[in-house]
Structure 1
Amino acid sequence: MGSLFRSEEMQLSQVFLHTDIAYMCISELGELGLVQFRDTAAGTSAFQRKFVNEVRRCDEMERKLRFLEKEIVKDNFPILDTGENPEAPAPREIIDLEGIFEKLENELREVNASAEELTKAHIKLCEVKQILRKTQSFFEEVNYSDGRILSSLAGVIDRDRLPAFERMLWRACRGNVFLKQAEIDEPLEDPTTGAKVHKAVFLVFFQGDQLRTRVKRICEGKLRFLGLHFFLFADRRNMAIDVMQKIEDLETVLSQTRQHRQRILEAAAKNLRVWFIKVRKIKAIYHTLNLFNLDVTTKCMVGECWCAVNDVDKIHLALRRGMERSNSTLQPILNGLTTRESPPTYHRTNKFTAAFQNIIDAYGVARYREVNPAIFPIALIFLLSQAQKSTNEVWSTFFSGRYIILLMGIFSIYTGLIYNDVFSRSLNIFGSSWYPAFDNETLSTSESVQLDPRTVNRTTDRMYAGYPYPFGLDPVWQMATNKIMLTNSIKMKMSIVLGVLHMLMGVILGAFNHR
């Protein structure tokens, strides 16, 4: 209860770690979470710290993981989250992680590039198929009886751009072209954006090389030009067969490419959360090591940290575990320092008290060893500490304040019942403790009657049950002529009593804080 009533007693400690065991010792201290390191190299810029290259490597690994996560989310692939909290990997394992991330990123980028090219080719062939299908009727309508052979050019264009394209073609060719068009029923995928777009097939008939050059130039500038020329029905038939065969081959290759992409994403999704935790822990360790001073002669790293006095033994055990994990016999050293600096305020909280402490800290953090006001809104037995994790910030806010919401709901019911008693009509929940034992004649002839509590032990004319109403105001007061006088008196006296108690509590807290 002392740690809840006041902040923990803190001490400034000096840590001596050999470079061979520094990484694992900081890893163990990070898992323990009971120390706050100070920057002993404040005069050194961030780019001159010893482990700046390691931090950059961690940033690069995080970038690769974010790329994998983006690709997984794009395909609506579930990311496995077992709630596992792995320890920070050893320094030699970092190279293995970098190799895994590099391999996954390169494979995924190659697959994406291949899939993009295959998709573009597939879309283009689908457009060619639509052109062959829609232009069949156009050629049947063209009359070649005068002996002149017309050249033709076909393509696909967005529906909303077709009127502007038609006007430009008509004006540029001075009306010497014949344009036929037909809308494609199903929307086609845009290779650039991936969105479904409604398109139309057009077929331009013209004569002469000059018009051919002019029409081709307009098409190349206005839309993605396909460059199809039709002369004989047999050519179009052979082209249709060839296009259908190419589409089938492309769909097979594209399906295999997508399956390979899914296998890569599936392998990454199983370990993505664990990888994120490992990389962030590695980065945090090197950030902490950058706060140390390095003694080049002894290869020893010297740092300072604040820790609670009650946790010194736990910190010693954590340092020893770090030494053992490093397979070294070099003992870490933790010495207490004497300082006049004001220590940081540390309140030990759990999942129940943390929400109340956060509310108090939002208005102002108490000074070191000052009375903690967070214990007064709690007023319940706090529970054991358990870990919680959530990726949603809004949900985390509600989750951390779930006990506050529960207590506020209970208190709102309590105040609502009191409000009914004082300002509205009381609820007769438990039944009145009074039994008016008057006959009808007495009630009709008497202007007022009075209940006598001394009849509690009587058997015939008993009026009082012997115990008060369990909660609030007894319902019998609803029938009293002096109800308003009673309730006004209670409200006035209770407000004075509660106000004095409130001020008295502030005076007592001030006395505790006075040193």
Structure 2
Amino acid sequence: MVSFSMFSSSNRAPPTTEAIYRSAPMTLVQFYMTLELARDVIYVLGNLGDVHFRDLNSKLTPFQRTFVSDLRKIDSVESQLDFLYETMETYNTLKVDPYSQFESSSQSFPSISEIDDIKVKIQEIYNRIHHLHSSYQTLEQRKDSLIENRYVLNEVVKFHTSSRGGLESHTVFDVGNHEDEDGVALLNGRNESLELGRGSGNDHSFDIASVEVDFEESNFNSISGTIVSDKIPLLRKILWRTLRGNLFFHDIPIDLKSDDEEAEKKSIFIIFIHGEFLQLRVRRIVQSLDGLIYDNVNGSNSLRCETLAQLNLQIQDLDTVVENTRNHLISELMIFQDAFPSYYYSIKREKLIYQTLNKFDMDSTRRCLVGEGWIPKSELGKIRQILKNLIRQKTNVAQGESEPLSGSGDGGLSPESTGSVPVSVGVTSASIFQLHADDDDNNFDIQDEENDVDSSLIAIVNELSTNRTPPTFHRTNKFTEAFQSIIDAYGIATYQEINPGLATIITFPFMFAIMFGDVGHGFIVFVISLYLIKNEYKFNMMRNKDEIFEMAFSGRYIVLLMGLFSMYTGFIYNDIFSKSMSLFKSGWEWDFPDDYKTGMQLIAKRIPGKTYWFGLDWAWHGTDNNLLFTNSYKMKLSIIMGYIHMNYSLFYSLVNYRFFKSRVDIIGNFIPGFLFMQSIFGYLTLTILYKWSVDWFGIEKQPPGLLNMLINMFLSPGKIEDQLYPGQKFIQIVLVLIALCCVPWLLIYKPLVLKKENDRAIGLGYSDLNSQKNHAVQLQEEEEALTNLINSENNNDPDHDEIDMLDDNFRFPNDIEPLNVISHGDGHDEFNLGDIIIHQVIHTIEFCLNCVSHTASYLRLWALSLAHAQLSTVLWTMTIQNAFGGNGGAIDIIKMVFLFGLWFTLSVCILVFMEGTSAMLHSLRLHWVEAMSKFFMGEGYAYEPFTFSGIDI
């Protein structure tokens, strides 16, 4: 039968569960608190990090929520802090302190007035630094403009000086070939034209050597300035087409030494044009291309010299002002950098607090907030006591009975604390350190004071009965976290279903090792993991880690076990860098004939009673039939490993069915599926083991082929070509009949049973089977809630008067979260027999086909192991093996060193990284597809508790 109590609030697991084999039992709690205490309550819960809050205002936009005005102010302050952070980075004044976050989080929790003071201080600092930064940028731009002006002036002086000495030394403007209407100058027919050059046809370059006039004394007007170098060709073309060639254009690149690598390179341009109208047009064109025109470079030579002197004086004065401004700005930033981590952490924490408060429903008449959240059942008592301590301390503060507490020590909200917190300080984070120290102690017991002080401050947490789907929470540490992430990447486990992450700790690295079996390569992987583990604190402090390195570092303990298991399988394969190890005496000896000659084929003989102690005998290495032997061995080994892996996965489904009390799934899915697999692939595995145990050469019989035997078992039942064991015919016929009977069993049993149960439920007055199950869940929840209440009254529990503030049937007006019900079967809203039949048909076809395809898929263990061994052999043969056999001279030594370096580099890059990555991905696929498809539902959602630990300074 399908369970009627999928969501009962009873503890299916004891409070001491580690929540790794199965997700932790969760409970839905309701928080009821006054507005005056809400901020402190959220702070305490954030430090505790045990509450997964539900959003009760899902229908509201962010601008319709209660604390939107507070968040806007915080966002404004956060943008100011971001500007200050970027400014400190720009001027290299940012102090990197790995302990800054710890120090910031250990400080006292500021009150609202203190937060307002912090905002005012940040605003003052922001205004001061922003003004200095803007002034510095303006002065820098003014200085750069004056330097550009000086460059332009110098180039104009050089240009006029060289024009007197010989204009032929300058490169003139050449626009190349253009269309006829663009290439014909307006004054082309005049001998004394204004274009300062002559051309014919499509050649529009100017011959400066033929010019007989002096630029400085001519009636031409010159325009000089700077423009981005990339725009020079564009400016040339535009001026040429606009003025029809009636101009002279000259450009010189500026060699500015700037610290800004992203600054655009500029060039100086000098343009000679006649007439005010054309001059105005040129100015507009230059300005449209973001060019700068300097008018103070024109005039006589004496006037230019005077201008140059003025520019030098202004640049010198600006240098002093810019340096003083920069020093003042840096000194301000150096003073602020010590307070920045504390301010930044406080503002980020404040933002998270108000974002969480926006998930609460507001009761404006009572000035109270009501919220809901998921917590582990084992943490409920701790949270209740923490809230009681908070109320007691805030009440004592209001009555003036407390003394200030520092941000460290044993004060604050710790269970043993009898002191209180001043209003200006609020709740200290020291209590959280005290709480965390007792996290592992599930017997959390705090003695309440006999007489609690009455107070108008309210903060109550109540356990609710619900049929909502709880989040999935598995407790992990730094070792198991990486293995759990492998499972979570595929899908979050359904609440309370068995967690495959526990078995993955062994199976994942071992499957990898079967494909990567080599003592030498495994040792390299092992050393790399040890380096990452030894320096894990330093790497944890790194902010911007490379993506690939981040993956390797996060899975450092996975890499550690992969290296260890690879060395283990390497000893089994007797393989180290494609060579064998003669650790023990061989069980074979070579039979040398009397007429033995070099190159003759030898046959080894078994030494009677002698067996190689561990792994493959090293005598197989280098033999002609080595590949044939290892292929057969590894191929059969991969089948056996696949059979074991799939069977334990299949038994996980039985564990799930028993836990959820789904009898129909045990009888209708597990038993026929198990019999189907054992009758085919279980039988194949047994024949492999039997074939290995028989001395076929001793009995002088050719061993039969198992693949043909398995195929003929279904195609020709009762026909045996090469007998493997006595009675083989009868056993195979029985196994085929069992397999054939399991298919209709899988198809029809579960739909028929559910149909019968649905008819019985309708006869009892329910609408369908699902309605009966939901009613049973509700009855059980009410019965357990009543039992808990009676037990609380009998035990004089002070919490017994904390009844639910809201009725169980109450629906928050803005809450749109669906009421999902966990069902380890067909969790439809209405019972639909057609859907159940279709689902069961798909499940039957998929299971039967997957038994074949998944078993064959495990042959990748053999294929990748073979590829790795052969590639390692080829790499050894083509590199370092060529270094042996010399006479030991200097050349041979150099050759050996070079080839060893080449061999080691290629081994690490190709065999360790590339082949290792490939083997890891194949092992991942075997877990995700071949194993987890047998039992894993993965329909849950992650437990994401509200915590301040994610704040990164």
How does the TM-score come out when normalised to structure 2?
0.44
1:71 and 2:87 correspond: yes
Take 1:388 and 1:512, find their aligned partners in 2: how far apart are those partners? 38
Take 1:504 and 1:174, find their aligned partners in 2: how far apart are those partners? 88
1:239 and 2:260 correspond: no
Q: Secondary structure at the match of 1:13?
A: strand
Match of 1:336 among 444, 463, 466: 463
For residues 409-460 of structure 1, what are the alpha-carbon distances to aligned partners after superposition, in whole Å with 9 as ceiling and x for unaligned?
3334444554567xx987225222659799999x9xxx9855343xxxxxxx
CA RMSD of aligned residues (A): 4.5
For residues 107-150 of structure 1, what are the alpha-carbon distances to aligned partners after superposition, in whole Å with 9 as ceiling and x for unaligned?
343234323332333233223323443344555666999xx885
Determine if contact 2:23/2:499 at 8 Å carries over to the other structure.
Answer: yes
Letter of the 1:247 counterpart: I
Take 2:236 and 2:53, find their aligned partners in 1: how far apart are those partners? 69
Q: Secondary structure at the match of 2:295?
A: coil
Take 2:628 and 2:253, find their aligned partners in 1: how far apart are those partners? 86
Post-superposition shift, 1:252? 1.1
Q: 1:136-151 alignment to 2 at 5 Å?
A: 136=157
Take 2:40 and 2:383, find their aligned partners in 1: how far apart are those partners? 13
Determine if contact 1:24/1:323 at 8 Å carries over to the other structure.
Answer: no
Q: 1:219 maps to which residue? A: 283
Q: 1:305-384 alignment to 2 at 5 Å?
A: 305-320=373-388, 322-323=390-391, 326=394, 327=397, 330=457, 332-379=459-506
Match of 2:119 among 98, 115, 118: 98
Match of 1:256 among 315, 324, 327: 324
For residues 25-44 of structure 1, what are the alpha-carbon distances to aligned partners after superposition, in whole Å with 9 as ceiling and x for unaligned?
11121111111112334454
Post-superposition shift, 1:286? 1.0
Match of 1:116 among 137, 146, 155: 137
Seen in structure 2, the aligned counterparts of structure 1 residues 405 and 487 have a Cα distance that, compared at 3 Å, is closer
Letter of the 1:411 counterpart: F
For residues 340-372 of structure 1, what are the alpha-carbon distances to aligned partners after superposition, in whole Å with 9 as ceiling and x for unaligned?
333221101111111111111122222222211
1:392 and 2:392 correspond: no
Seen in structure 2, the aligned counterparts of structure 1 residues 320 and 252 have a Cα distance that, compared at 3 Å, is farther
1:28 and 2:44 correspond: yes
Determine if contact 1:15/1:302 at 8 Å carries over to the other structure.
Answer: yes
1:512 and 2:655 correspond: yes
Post-superposition shift, 1:90? 3.1
For residues 203-250 of structure 1, what are the alpha-carbon distances to aligned partners after superposition, in whole Å with 9 as ceiling and x for unaligned?
7487xxxx3564255235424222226555443333322221111111
Q: What is the number of equivalent residue pairs in this alignment? A: 486
Match of 2:348 among 258, 280, 286: 280
Take 1:51 and 1:306, find their aligned partners in 2: how far apart are those partners? 23
Determine if contact 2:30/2:463 at 8 Å carries over to the other structure.
Answer: yes
Letter of the 1:260 counterpart: H
The runs of 5 or more residues in structure 2 that have no matched partner are 1-16, 165-211, 399-454, 508-532, 597-602, 662-953
Q: 1:290-305 alignment to 2 at 5 Å?
A: 290-305=358-373
Q: Which has the higher strand share?
A: 1
Deviates more, 1:364-373 or 1:123-132: 123-132
Take 1:221 and 1:479, find their aligned partners in 2: how far apart are those partners? 81
The runs of 5 or more residues in structure 1 that have no matched partner are 454-462
Take 2:305 and 2:635, find their aligned partners in 1: how far apart are those partners? 101
Q: Secondary structure at the match of 1:405?
A: helix
Q: Secondary structure at the match of 1:28?
A: helix
Match of 1:401 among 552, 555, 570: 555
Seen in structure 2, the aligned counterparts of structure 1 residues 173 and 259 have a Cα distance that, compared at 3 Å, is farther
Take 1:273 and 1:266, find their aligned partners in 2: how far apart are those partners? 13
Q: Secondary structure at the match of 1:156?
A: strand
Take 2:235 and 2:293, find their aligned partners in 1: how far apart are those partners? 16
Take 1:118 and 1:127, find their aligned partners in 2: how far apart are those partners? 14
Seen in structure 2, the aligned counterparts of structure 1 residues 426 and 135 have a Cα distance that, compared at 3 Å, is closer
Letter of the 2:62 counterpart: A
Higher RCO (C-alpha 8 Å, min separation 6): 1
Seen in structure 2, the aligned counterparts of structure 1 residues 268 and 418 have a Cα distance that, compared at 3 Å, is farther
Q: 1:346-495 alignment to 2 at 5 Å?
A: 346-379=473-506, 391-392=543-544, 394=547, 395-419=549-573, 427-432=580-585, 450-453=606-609, 469-470=613-614, 472-476=615-619, 494=637
Post-superposition shift, 1:475? 2.8
Take 1:68 and 1:347, find their aligned partners in 2: how far apart are those partners? 40
Determine if contact 1:26/1:322 at 8 Å carries over to the other structure.
Answer: no
Q: Secondary structure at the match of 2:27?
A: strand
Take 2:251 and 2:308, find their aligned partners in 1: how far apart are those partners? 18
Determine if contact 1:13/1:336 at 8 Å carries over to the other structure.
Answer: yes
Post-superposition shift, 1:188? 7.7
Take 1:201 and 1:432, find their aligned partners in 2: how far apart are those partners? 88
Q: 1:47 maps to which residue? A: 63
Post-superposition shift, 1:495? 5.1
Determine if contact 1:40/1:292 at 8 Å carries over to the other structure.
Answer: yes
Determine if contact 1:181/1:201 at 8 Å carries over to the other structure.
Answer: yes
Q: Secondary structure at the match of 1:20?
A: helix
Deviates more, 1:257-266 or 1:194-203: 194-203
Take 1:231 and 1:12, find their aligned partners in 2: how far apart are those partners? 86
Post-superposition shift, 1:102? 2.3
Q: Secondary structure at the match of 1:310?
A: helix
Seen in structure 2, the aligned counterparts of structure 1 residues 496 and 181 have a Cα distance that, compared at 3 Å, is closer
Q: Secondary structure at the match of 2:296?
A: coil
How does the TM-score come out when normalised to structure 1?
0.77
Determine if contact 1:292/1:303 at 8 Å carries over to the other structure.
Answer: yes
Q: Secondary structure at the match of 1:50?
A: coil
Match of 1:161 among 232, 244, 249: 232
Letter of the 2:111 counterpart: A
Determine if contact 1:190/1:196 at 8 Å carries over to the other structure.
Answer: no
1:195 and 2:263 correspond: yes
